[in-house]
Amino acid sequence: MRYKISIFLFLICLATHFFAQSTIQKEDTGPADTLRSNAYLDIANDYYTNGETDSAIFFAMKGYELARKQYFVRGIYKNINIAGLSLSLQGKNNEAMQLFNVGKAYSVAGKNKKGESKMLLGLGICETRKGNYKQAIDHFLAALKIEETVGKNKEQLANIYNNIAVVFKKSGDFLQSRRYNRVALQMRIELKDSLQIALSYNNLGNTFSYNDPASCDSVFYFVNKALEIRKKINNPMGIAQSWNNLGTYYLNMEIPDSALVYYHKSYNENVKLGLTGEIMNCLNNLAETYYDLKRFEEARKYGDEALKVAIDNEFKDLESSCRKKLAKIYFALGDFKRSAELFKSYVAIRDTFFSQTLEDKIAEARHNFEFEKKEDKLKQEQAIKDAVFAEEKRVQKIIIGSITAGLLLVLLVLVLVFRGYQQKKRANILIAKQKEEVEEQKHIIEEKQKEIIDSIYYARRIQRSLLTKEKYIDRTIRKLSKS
């Protein structure tokens, strides 16, 4: 069914390509190539989810080439991510790391922090599978720092925490591993990502001791919960991983026959999928189980095969484990010389490769990371303080300026008021003086007028006394006229 879906998706991709070419000019192929790159990415992701790594690599590299031509950074790093993770699952970690470094270079040049974070995570996963835990933790913490500074992407943070948990588990710090796994699980539940939720349940199961009867129930619960989800979403790669973990559970419960059933189921599925790292784990576990059953020849066969895979793919930590296990198997077979050689080489690898314990490496890396975080935090706090101080100073200047301007304005108003008052006072004095002068002139005029009127009245009395009265004249005239 999944092949039909993949073919259908590919046909959609081709149809999209031809449609794009028929609707845009020949020289303007950018949009069409971007669509095709995204279509190839979807197909590659579908194959990767189903554990078909060869097909995933093929389509992812097709998508990468198209994205590279258009300098489509998001398409570049996303396709590289699928191709790199698929190569790593095949045990080709050096090739995968070359790809991740290319993706990182494009992301840095394009100032794409999201892409840079993904590429760092991919590099860390490769280093983990190679057994270089110090380098792995450095990459994970660098990716974590990016996510914490540029905007927390919950999906990416969950992936980072999940892989840090893997490193803690390999260092033997199961409590810290469990803590990081629970954080990753909670984020994935919030994102409703069934595939990654199953992975977190599976990893949580591995953080409980298989040798402690009290913890075995937790192992069985989480591993089966993961298997249930993986079957529901049809995830063959995850199913094979869960079968391998169930084999380990039954082996530690001293039910080796059941352990063999699950180990063989997991081995066959991983061979079908071509997952080198998982194949080696199954071979190693089969060797251990056959040794416990005292079937030493079969144990040797699977042990030798596991060692070859570990050497070919530079799985240093697992190579050390294989040599130690094989030394025990060859000793049981009576080949003491080969047993001594294997044990000696195991000690040499352990002393060189693990010269610094994983715990110390992780502690050192975490210390550096925490120190950088504290330093960044102090810088941020100082920057905030400087900004607050500058703002306070600016506000203070504004306040002082405002008060000064207000005082100057008040002073100006007072000057104008005082000046107006003085002018008004002088005007009032002038008016009062003028009024006095007017009153005085009025008085003088009234005095003069009185004098004139009195003179007129006096003159009229004189005139009246000197002149004959009109009535007398009229009588005299009438008398004369009668006579």
What's the CATH number where 285 sits? 1.25.40.10
Give me the percent of the chain exceeding a pLDDT of 90.
34
* Residues 218-243: tens digit of each pLDDT: 888 999 999 999 999 999 999 999 99
- Residue 388 domain-assigned (yes or no): no
Q: What is the pLDDT of residue 432?
A: 80
Residue 195 lies in a domain: no
Listed residues 299, 320, 355: the one ending a domain? 355
Number of C-beta neighbours around residue 214 at 10 A: 8
Looking at the structure, tell me whether residues 43 and 146 fall in a common domain.
yes
CA distance 243 to 256: 14
pLDDT greater than 50 at residue 21: no
Q: Looking at 98, 130, 152, which one is the last position of a domain?
A: 152
Does the pLDDT value for residue 12 go beyond 80? no
- Is 373 or 457 the better-scoring residue by pLDDT? 457
> 134 in a domain, yes or no?
yes
**What digits encode the pLDDT tens for the residues 40-83?**
999 999 988 888 889 999 999 999 999 998 889 999 999 999 99
Structure tokens at 140: 């994970």
Burial (0-12, 13-18, 19+ Cβ within 10 Å), 8? exposed
Mean pLDDT of the region 165-181: 85
Position 2 confidence tier, pLDDT thresholds 50, 70, 90: very low
pLDDT digits over 188-220, tens only?
999 999 999 999 999 888 888 656 666 778 888
Does 294 reside within a domain?
Answer: yes
Pair (13, 146) in one structural domain: yes
Which domain-ending residue is among 339, 355, 371?
Answer: 355
Residues in the chain: 483
Find, among 154, 80, 66, the residue nearest to 116 by Cα: 80
Give the Cα separation of 187 and 280 in Å (integer).
Answer: 31
Please give the residue that has the higher pLDDT: either 29 or 336.
Answer: 336
Do 118 and 258 belong together in one domain? no
349 belongs to a structural domain: yes
Q: Is the model's pLDDT at 468 over the cut of 70?
A: no
Residues 148 and 2 placed together within one structural domain of the fold: yes
Which pLDDT value is given to residue 13? 45
Mean pLDDT is lowest, of 25-29, 291-295, 303-307, 442-446, for: 25-29
- 259 plus 145 within the same structural domain: no
| Res 129 pLDDT > 90 | no
Q: How much is the average pLDDT of 263-270?
A: 93
**306 belongs to a structural domain:** yes
Write down the pLDDT at residue 435. 81
* Tens of pLDDT, residues 271-286: 998 888 889 889 999 9
CB 299 within 8 A of CB 329: yes
Same domain, 119 and 240: no
Structural domain count of the chain = 2
> Do residue 146 and residue 240 come from a single domain?
no
Instruction: Answer whether residue 305 shows pLDDT above 80.
Output: yes
| Average confidence (pLDDT) over 354-368 | 52
| Higher local confidence (pLDDT), 116 or 461 | 116
Considering the domain architecture, whether residues 51 and 145 belong to the same structural domain is answered as yes
164 within some domain: no
Q: Quote the mean pLDDT of the chain.
A: 81
Q: Looking at residues 141-159, what average pLDDT do you find? A: 86
Confidence of residue 320 (pLDDT cuts 50, 70, 90): confident
Q: Which long-range contacts (C-beta less than 8 Å, at least 24 apart) are formed by 222-227?
A: 223/249, 225/198, 225/201, 226/198, 226/199, 226/201, 226/202, 227/198, 227/202
Write the pLDDT tens digit of every residue in 412-451.
888 888 888 888 888 788 888 888 887 888 788 888 888 8
8 Å CB contact between 158 and 196: yes
> 279: closest CA among 303, 309, 250?
309
* 390 lies in some domain: no
Owning domain of residue 344 = 235-355
DSSP 258: H
